[in-house]
Amino acid sequence: MNPDISSPSAAAPARKKRRANAQFMLAHPAHWIAQGFGSGLSPIMPGTAGTLFAWLSYVVLSARWPHVFTAANWLAIIVAGFVIGIWACHRTGRALNSPDDGSMVWDEIIAFWLVLVLVTPASTKVQFAAFVVFRFFDMVKPPPIAWFDRRFKGGFGVMWDDIVAAFYTLLVFAFWRVYA
């Protein structure tokens, strides 16, 4: 059966995925946020680079301004960052023609900040363990993370599956603290 050439799907060619680079990132504030202030442009494992950026920024900001970056303020930043991330990741994904592009790491940043604020105070060794466990859940996407990843699209979907990975990470740490 031949497709009707006059049908809209046959007439409209598929848009090609746009390449994320510094010029693209700096073209709009949403791109700058979604791409983790440049950490998502890493050619090797951008999600891991974004999570490392989250860790470094959390430690530096909390140490430099402890009276400003309290646990309560971090939670407010995380909630606001989640909402802003929905917008930024949706707009950036649409501009890249890649709804969950690997260069968008704001979801990792917000989710890992959540992990850090809830496991702190913690030694560097414990924070590193949280980093490894979080990256495991974010990359492997065990159920229901993969289900959320498939079902929820756009900016909310990009942001939500990492929040679930953060929840799994926190669950592991809760069990570890109770049974260790």
d(CA 167, CA 97): 29
Reported pTM: 0.89
Higher model confidence: residue 38 or residue 147? 38
Least confident of 5-19, 101-115, 136-150: 5-19
**Angle value at C-alpha 118, between 112 and 121, nearest 5 degrees:** 105
Query: Domain coordinates of the chain in residue numbers?
Result: 45-179
Tokens of 24: 């693209």
Per residue in 106-123, pLDDT (tens digit) is: 999 999 999 999 998 889
- Helix, strand and coil percent figures for the chain, each rounded to 5: 70, 0, 30
Tokens of 16: 């090609």
110-31-154-69 Cα dihedral, nearest 10 degrees: 20
CB-based contact 81:136 (threshold 8 Å): no
Structure-token match 């260790």, residue found: 180
Q: Please give the pLDDT value at position 5.
A: 44
Q: Residue 3: pLDDT above 50?
A: no
Tokens of 17: 């995925």
CB-based contact 102:109 (threshold 8 Å): no
